[in-house]
Structure 1
Amino acid sequence: MISIRPVLPHEWPTYRDLRLQALQDSPDAFGSTFAAESQRTDENWAARIAAAHASGNDRPFFAVNGDVVCGLVWCKLSAAEPGVADIYQMWVDPAARGLGAGGALLKAALDWATSVAVRRVGLGVTLADSPAMRLYQAHGFQPVGAPEPLREGSSLMSQGMQRQLSA
């Protein structure tokens, strides 16, 4: 049974480990890389989660299968556009794929965004016929804008997508 819960400040080592695992497992799914993220100090990882928890503008969530953390999503309010949030770092451990963790994580992020009066949620996804793309489309996300390179030096393209939320 998959459950979703916010990441708590003392759980930064679990967050770090899961984030690095995600970058190794799915390097073509993220704008960042394992090489870049693995250089962060423990203090930086801890500060990242503490700041998210304290700010009220960020909400990282874990998916948990039994007592094993198996997925991650981060929803962040836009500093530039009131009423807008973005989803980042969405990933589910291969051992938990097919159990509904991705949909549950996405629902938790959208529910949180709704609870803080967000009207539009955006994200970027590697342009491909992939489970991630199908998940976002199934949850009402639509392509917006032209695809852009996933990151500097990459031949892969990222498609921006957005979904309007009820007021």
Structure 2
Amino acid sequence: MTDITVRALGDEEWQVYRDVRLAALKESPDAFAASASHEEGFDDDLWQARIKRSRRLVAEDGERVVGVVSVGRVGEESEKVSELFGLWVNPELRGKGVAWKLVDAGVRQARDDNYNFVLYWVGTDNGRAVAFASSYGFRPTDGRRPMQSSDDDEDEMAMVYPLGDDPGAVPSSVL
């Protein structure tokens, strides 16, 4: 395997984001609140606007995009909390450190953008995802919400990663 690199996409690379986003939705339809069939209907203007709303980071194996994560602000009311979302890795590279590199780059981006916390929502029944986030340093919180991608009664848990000097601080405004 070639060395995996992670980089932020520029606004002019909206087609790269579109292509990896649609690949993720097709490959892992239950992992996202959206569907490939819905997003395939988006026009170019919407994709161009969408890439500007959040930082879009891609993992690349040579010239091939093999993963993606987005980093953005949590709501309009919270200027101090960033959120990681839309994490996806090509199945052939899962378990090989690509997700770690994407999350690490997302956390560094949030720090560079002067956020104090990074929020990451994880399915409470997804032990592997909870373990992964915990091993990186995200801590579980009492924050829960219904899982957006599931018709079941599953919940997501807010996990938080503090970027400031107080590793015990948890932002109450997002929970």
State the superposition RMSD in angstroms.
Answer: 1.9
Structure 1 spans left out of the alignment, 5+ residues: 53-57
Secondary structure of the residue aligned to 1:145 is: strand
Structure 2 spans left out of the alignment, 5+ residues: 166-175
Contact 2:17 2:56 in 1 (8 A): no
Secondary structure of the residue aligned to 2:142 is: coil
Quickly say closer, same or farther: Cα 1:30–1:152, change in 2 above 3 A.
closer
* 1:73 CA displacement: 0.6
Question: Is 2:38 the partner of 1:36?
Answer: yes
TM-score, scaled relative to structure 2: 0.82
* 1:153 CA displacement: 6.4
Question: Is 2:88 the partner of 1:87?
Answer: no
Contact 1:29 1:125 in 2 (8 A): no
Secondary structure of the residue aligned to 1:161 is: strand
Quickly say closer, same or farther: Cα 1:153–1:62, change in 2 above 3 A.
closer
Quickly say closer, same or farther: Cα 1:149–1:35, change in 2 above 3 A.
farther
* 1:82 CA displacement: 2.0
Question: Is 2:120 the partner of 1:123?
Answer: yes
Counterpart residue number, 2:5: 3
Q: Which amino acid aligns with 2:112?
A: S
Q: Which residue, 90, 104, 110 being the options, matches 1:107?
A: 104
Counterpart residue number, 1:63: 59
Q: Distance in 2 between matches of 1:16 and 1:130?
A: 29
Contact 1:28 1:126 in 2 (8 A): no
Counterpart residue number, 1:165: 163
Counterpart residue number, 2:93: 96
Quickly say closer, same or farther: Cα 1:17–1:130, change in 2 above 3 A.
farther
* 1:22 CA displacement: 1.0
Q: Which amino acid aligns with 1:127?
A: T
* 1:31 CA displacement: 2.5
Counterpart residue number, 1:17: 19
Q: Distance in 2 between matches of 1:111 and 1:136?
A: 15
Contact 2:72 2:84 in 1 (8 A): yes
Q: Which amino acid aligns with 1:18?
A: V
Contact 1:141 1:162 in 2 (8 A): yes
Contact 1:91 1:102 in 2 (8 A): yes
Q: What are the equivalent positions in structure 2 for 1:115-154 lying under 5 Å apart?
A: 115-151=112-148, 154=151
Q: Distance in 2 between matches of 1:122 and 1:72?
A: 17
Secondary structure of the residue aligned to 1:144 is: strand
